[in-house]
Amino acid sequence: MFDFWTIFLAVVVGILYIWWKNTTRDAVLPPGPPTVPFLGNLLSVNPETVLDTFQEYRRKYGEVFSLITGSKTLVVISGYDTLREIFIKHGDVTSERPDIFITREVGKFKGVATSSGALWKEHRTFSLNTLREFGFGKRSLETRIIEEIEVFVQEIQSKKGEPFNIHSLINVCISNIMCSITFGKRYDHDDKKFLSLLNSINQNLSNENVMFVATVLPFIRYIPGDPFRIKKVLRNVDKVENHLRQLVEEHEQIYDENNLRDYVDVFLKKMKSERNNPNTTFDEDQLLKIVGELFVAGTETTSTAIRWFCLFMIRHPEVQEKMRNEINDVIGTSRFPSLEDKQNLPYCEAVIHETLRIGTIAPLSVPHGLASDLKFNGFTIPKDALLIPNLYSVFFDEKIFPDPYDFKPERFLDEKGNLKNTDKVLAFSLGRRVCLGEALARMELFLFVTSLIQRFTLEAGDIKNIPSEKGTMGITYAPKDFVLKAVPT
């Protein structure tokens, strides 16, 4: 008979062996930095410097390298061609979402962004079709955006050229557009409850390393207290969802099948039509998750892009001047720019592409999962790995964009002044998971930034404190808060 201590020792040795094995790189995996016993590559990546570290690993280990964390194997995909090969050519295998903190605890594997397989396909198609119905890429939506721009411009005018932080103004305007598509509702700029919701979203998406840490060390959420602020993230998610639940309930009370006003109404109609289908995926939980995603993904990303734009304009007044000259030549000042003007404003378009490139916004996209093992260049990427699309590697690839760290919109113009090379800016990612809101984001970016430059000259709020091009890394890569002056032209 074995005594207690023998069994205890055997269990401890067994656990240590499994842990040691989990932190060692298997020969079939893509290469990567050397592992440390029991830690793997945990010490090789600091969330704050992760982008530069990945650039270095790309040089050392190639376009596909792996990182071992004990709980998950991360496989980082870099380079334009390799990203296309993995996420487009092998898109049937690489378009899932992995089982990680954000998909399990935040998304509950529902919605569009955090679901996979048949559920994801059905709801991505439904959402895209419904959003198109409500104006993605259409004139009706343009009118809604311009209405919001009018408020935006009035608010800026009210500052009378004095320094202010434009962050919350942009956030409210952009989320109002998303709210009007999903709930048919917009909020006042001083609505405290709404501002607090936007603040919770901002905390979760930017300026936080928490998502990264929770992904590679999932057990930390069970540590007493909240040293990594995981519980705070989940509280923020609940707060946003409770607000959305209220809005959906209000909608249900005045629902009229003959007058579908917005995304929620169309979803409710589908829910009602599938009431007797025991296998339906159109239920209230799914509606809340999708609406939440649209609200979150549709606000912070576009708003961050516009903040980057303002920052680059402060740092590059000559670019601002050229944009304004182009706008004045084509449109003048008597009306707001419209989408029809886009083709006649190639320099403005080049500035937007350069902002999306160098601002990066979502430099590591959103992690992908795999439907099965994938053989690639003699290595095997296992089914349970976490694929990271390293979009940053393309943005700063000097073979594609010479002098990649310089802000040079001209790189997107040929000798005749026509746009070129813009397809290399993978800001919205690529393949089957490509951003669902790309069309809306592009409309918003064009209309907001051209209207802004048409009416104001942007300057640093404090001449001794020019805002830095170095941002902070969360799920989005965002500029640090800054103040600016918007002087009427």
Choose which of 175, 202, 302, 390 interacts with ligand HEM (CB under 6 A): 302
Site for ligand HEM in 374-413 (CB under 6 A): 389
Quick check: 441 binds ligand HEM (CB under 6 A)?
Answer: yes
Using CB under 6 A, pick the residue from 266, 287, 345, 440 that binds ligand HEM: 440
Residue with tokens 């403005």: 348
Token look-up 């993978």 returns 426
* Residue 298 binding ligand HEM, by CB under 6 A: yes
Query: Does residue 86 interact with ligand HEM by CB under 6 A?
Result: no
Which member of 201, 313, 366, 394 binds ligand HEM (CB under 6 A)? 366
Asked if 287 is part of the footprint of ligand HEM (rule: CB under 6 A), the reply reads: no
- Determine if 352 is a binding residue for ligand HEM (CB under 6 A): no
Residues 303-322 that bind ligand HEM (CB under 6 A): 305
348 is in an annotated binding site: no
Q: Which stretch binds ligand HEM (CB under 6 A): 64-72, 146-154, 362-370, 479-487?
A: 362-370
Tell me: does residue 79 bind ligand HEM (CB under 6 A).
no
Residue placing its CB nearer to ligand HEM in the complex, 179 or 436: 436
Whether the CB-CB separation of 292 and 241 falls below 8 Å is answered with: yes
Q: CB-wise, 170 or 297, nearer to ligand HEM? A: 297
Is residue 112 within the footprint of ligand HEM (CB under 6 A)? yes
Of residues 32 and 292, the one with the C-beta less far from ligand HEM: 292
Two structure tokens written together for 117:
């397989």
Q: Candidates 20-28, 102-110, 294-302, 373-381 — which segment interacts with ligand HEM by CB under 6 A?
A: 294-302
Q: Does 467 bind ligand HEM (CB under 6 A)?
A: no
Smallest distance, ligand HEM to C-beta of residue 174, A: 8
Q: How far apart are CA 28 and CA 163, in angstroms?
A: 57
Site residue total, ligand HEM (CB under 6 A): 24
Q: Does 428 bind ligand HEM (CB under 6 A)?
A: yes
Stretch that binds ligand HEM, among 196-204, 289-297, 344-352, 447-455 (CB under 6 A): 289-297
Pattern 141-160, ligand HEM, x by CB under 6 A: --------------------
Question: What residue ranges bind ligand HEM (CB under 6 A)?
Answer: 112-113, 124, 293-294, 297-298, 301-302, 305, 361-362, 365-366, 389, 427-429, 433, 435-437, 440-441
